Chains A and B, each alone.
Chain A
Amino acid sequence: DAMVIQNPRYQVTQFGKPVTLSCSQTLNHNVMYWYQQKSSQAPKLLFHYYDKDFNNEADTPDNFQSRRPNTSFCFLDIRSPGLGDAAMYLCATSRGVNEKLFFGSGTQLSVL
């Protein structure tokens, strides 16, 4: 089945140690999103790609970067994770404007 896949499901990193989260999709969707969701809060949009065009939200910290090497893959890089970056990170895709989002199962990041 076509889907959005995030690996790993759980990721543990150390304070200040760079970490990369991955997302892949078999839907061939144009748009890929990264959201951060902390406990009992709504998902917060970090950035998105429309094809290769990168769109950063104004309040996304510089510590967060993203790469989309091709249509299928998108990566979230956290250069120096702090304790406050512990959260669920959700990847989502959509075919284009006015289309719903399809979510991956998320990666729960812990920072020790």
Chain B
Amino acid sequence: GQNIDQPTEMTATEGAIVQINCTYQTSGFNGLFWYQQHAGEAPTFLSYNVLDGLEEKGRFSSFLSRSKGYSYLLLKELQMKDSASYLCAVRGDNYGQNFVFGPGTRLSVLP
């Protein structure tokens, strides 16, 4: 089975940096993904980690430690449009076909 955990809600100020954590316990691991989802819309892909370390993509970075079952998404220079839910998802069993989302973190960016 798979167990993925994230904080439910976070608040940050425009221009600041925020780190959203994700911990997971899965049987099998074939990569960890971060998605952004605005209310009423489909999730959109942000980043992907399969090896330990940091992946940087503009204002967004994601880190993975497989031995600790831990990842974080780092958002820099926050903008109001970054207010959304951030979903951590893990490819686990079944040769990676299973793709299971964590509960999501709702981020509110305040002026």
Chain A contacts to B: CB under 8 angstroms: 31, 33, 35, 40-45, 48, 50, 55, 88, 90, 92, 94, 97-98, 100-106, 108
| Bound: A65/B28 CA distance, A | 27
CB contacts (< 8 Å) of A90 on chain B: these are: 42-43
* Interface SS of A by simple majority: strand
| Bound: A104/B43 CA distance, A | 9
Contact status A55-B87, CB under 8 Å: no
Chain A to chain B contacts (Cβ below 8 Å), 15 pairs = A35-B101, A40-B106, A42-B87, A42-B103, A45-B101, A48-B99, A88-B40, A92-B99, A97-B97, A98-B31, A101-B35, A103-B44, A105-B42, A106-B42, A108-B40
Q: Does B96 contact A (CB under 8 A)?
A: yes
Answer whether A98 and B100 are a contact pair too, CB < 8 Å, given A43-B87, A104-B42: no
The 8 closest A-B pairs by CB, nearest first: A97-B96, A103-B42, A42-B101, A42-B104, A100-B45, A42-B103, A43-B101, A106-B42
CB contacts (< 8 Å) of B35 on chain A: these are: 101
Taking CB as reference atom, which chain B residue is nearest A44?
B101
| Bound: A88/B43 CA distance, A | 12
Q: Does B94 contact A (CB under 8 A)?
A: yes
Contact status A94-B99, CB under 8 Å: yes
CB contacts (< 8 Å) of B101 on chain A: these are: 35, 42-45
CB distance from B80 to the nearest CB of A (A): 20
Known A-B contacts: A42-B102, A97-B30. Give 12 more (CB < 8 A): A33-B99, A35-B101, A42-B104, A43-B43, A45-B100, A48-B97, A48-B99, A50-B97, A88-B40, A100-B45, A101-B89, A103-B43
